[in-house]
């Protein structure tokens, strides 16, 4: 029986770390090397150095692979990739696994298309930022046919992630779970940003607040606080965001859309969305992290968008 060939599509801030860990696992197991593609293929140079094999197109990956993973920026890109996979030839018996954060309706549409073409689809969005992807510590939320879940599980826990939350056969459930988690994350970030601005304006000071957050709520909340205190919220003009604010805006809009459909108000998510959009308006063309809502809240509170730490880093003071 031929060895399983695994493929990867998408090398953004999450995909690059995930695919590197997958290739390391395949190499250690003596399995065929990962075949990958990306819109900018040169982004995979480090992956290629680990032994992975680049190809020019999605069709090239799909035609060669038995299991195909993707991690892409938005719903439209996922839909386009799905169409290319189906157009690659006979995909009977293959498994397509998408790790992106998309609307539940998109997951259902993709699943229907893939199933109609004779393959199986697994929605497998992940919890965790780029450093967790690099460290192989992501949390996967999987939904899809049990046979497909069984085939992909050896590549998830202990390889790209630390755990798996299984949601059954309905692919919409994994997307909804990810959206529920994002409601918490964006709300935490909004509240922590407001608290930091409060601490600065009252003279309490951000270091004191961060110590309180760490001691009282633990390392996860402390990590959100450090996105503010270390200047991650607003990278240098030539830098790159850990999680781009445009993606966080997309995720927040998905949450608000799903909530509206069932008659639920997400007040904090709505406020956070407004602040992220405001941050983009205040700093057009500049790389901004999802936590850049902090800069918008600073601006609304008569503070500079950038902290002194950011300005010193950028050489503006």
The pLDDT assigned to 269 comes to 98
Q: CB atoms < 10 A from the CB of 232, how many? A: 21
Domains of the chain: 6-169 (3.40.50.720), 176-314 (1.10.1040.10)
Whole-angstrom Cα distance, residue 162 to residue 140? 8
Phi, psi (deg, nearest 5) at residue 283: -130, 65
Of 178, 211, 250, 311, which is the active-site residue? 178
Q: What is the pLDDT of residue 305?
A: 98
For residue 138, how many other CB atoms are within 10 A of its CB? 28
What pLDDT sits at residue 290?
96
**C-alpha distances out from residue 269 to 37, 128, 152, 175, 275, Å:** 34, 19, 33, 17, 10
Predicted confidence at residue 196, as pLDDT, reads 98
* 126-127 and 138-142 strand pairing: antiparallel
pLDDT band of residue 1 (cuts 50, 70, 90) is low
Phi/psi zone of residue 168: left (φ > 0), alpha (ψ -120 to 50 degrees), beta? left
Residues 244/290, Cβ–Cβ less than 8 Å: yes
Average pLDDT estimate for 2-15 = 94
Three-state DSSP class for residue 304: coil
pLDDT > 90: percent of the chain: 97
pLDDT digits (tens, 9 = 90+) for 220-236: 999 999 999 999 999 99
Return all residues near 280 (Cβ < 8 A) that are at least 6 apart.
245, 246, 249, 288, 292
Q: What is the pLDDT of residues 118-171, one digit of tens each?
A: 999 999 999 998 889 999 999 999 999 999 999 999 999 999 999 999 999 999
Annotated catalytic residue 201: no
Q: How far apart are the first and last CA of the chain?
A: 65
pTM above 0.75, yes or no: yes
pLDDT tens-digit readout, 172-215:
999 999 999 999 999 999 999 999 999 999 999 999 999 999 99
Q: What is the mean pLDDT of residues 97-110?
A: 98
The pLDDT value given to residue 151: 97
How do residues 269-287 score in pLDDT, each as one tens digit? 999 999 999 999 999 999 9
Mean pLDDT, residues 237-248 taken together: 93
Who contacts 240 (Cβ-Cβ below 8 Å, separation ≥6)? 13, 287
């Amino acid at each position: 029986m031929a060895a399983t060939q695994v493929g990867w599509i998408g090398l953004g801030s999450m995909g690059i770390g995930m695919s590197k860990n997958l290739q390391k696992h395949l190499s250690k197991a003596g399995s065929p090397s990962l075949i990958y593609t990306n819109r900018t293929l040169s982004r995979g140079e480090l992956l290629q150095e680990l032994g992975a094999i680049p190809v020019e197109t999605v069709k090239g990956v799909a035609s060669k692979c038995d299991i195909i993973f993707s991690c892409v920026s938005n719903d439209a890109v996922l839909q386009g990739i799905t169409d290319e996979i189906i157009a690659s030839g006979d995909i009977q018996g293959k498994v397509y696994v998408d790790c992106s954060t998309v609307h539940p309706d998109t997951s259902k549409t993709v699943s229907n298309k893939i199933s109609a073409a004779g393959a199986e689809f697994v929605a497998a969005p992940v919890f965790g930022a780029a450093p967790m992807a690099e460290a192989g510590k992501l949390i996967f939320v999987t939904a899809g046919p049990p046979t497909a879940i069984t085939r992909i599980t050896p590549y998830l826990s202990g390889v790209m992630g630390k755990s798996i939350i299984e949601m059954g056969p309905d692919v919409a459930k994994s997307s909804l779970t990810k959206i529920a988690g994002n409601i918490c994350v964006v709300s935490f970030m909004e509240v922590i940003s407001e608290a930091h601005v409060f601490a600065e304006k009252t003279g309490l000071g951000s270091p004191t607040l961060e110590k309180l957050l760490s001691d009282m709520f633990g390392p996860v909340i402390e990590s959100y606080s450090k996105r503010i205190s270390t200047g991650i919220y607003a990278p240098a003009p030539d830098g790159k965001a850990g999680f781009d604010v445009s993606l966080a805006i997309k995720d927040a809009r998905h949450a608000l859309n799903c909530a509206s459909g069932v008659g639920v108000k997400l007040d904090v998510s709505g406020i956070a969305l407004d602040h992220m959009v405001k941050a983009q308006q205040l700093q057009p063309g500049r790389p901004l992290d999802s936590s850049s809502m902090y800069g918008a809240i600073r601006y609304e509170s008569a503070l500079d968008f950038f902290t002194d730490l950011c300005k010193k880093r950028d050489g503006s003071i």
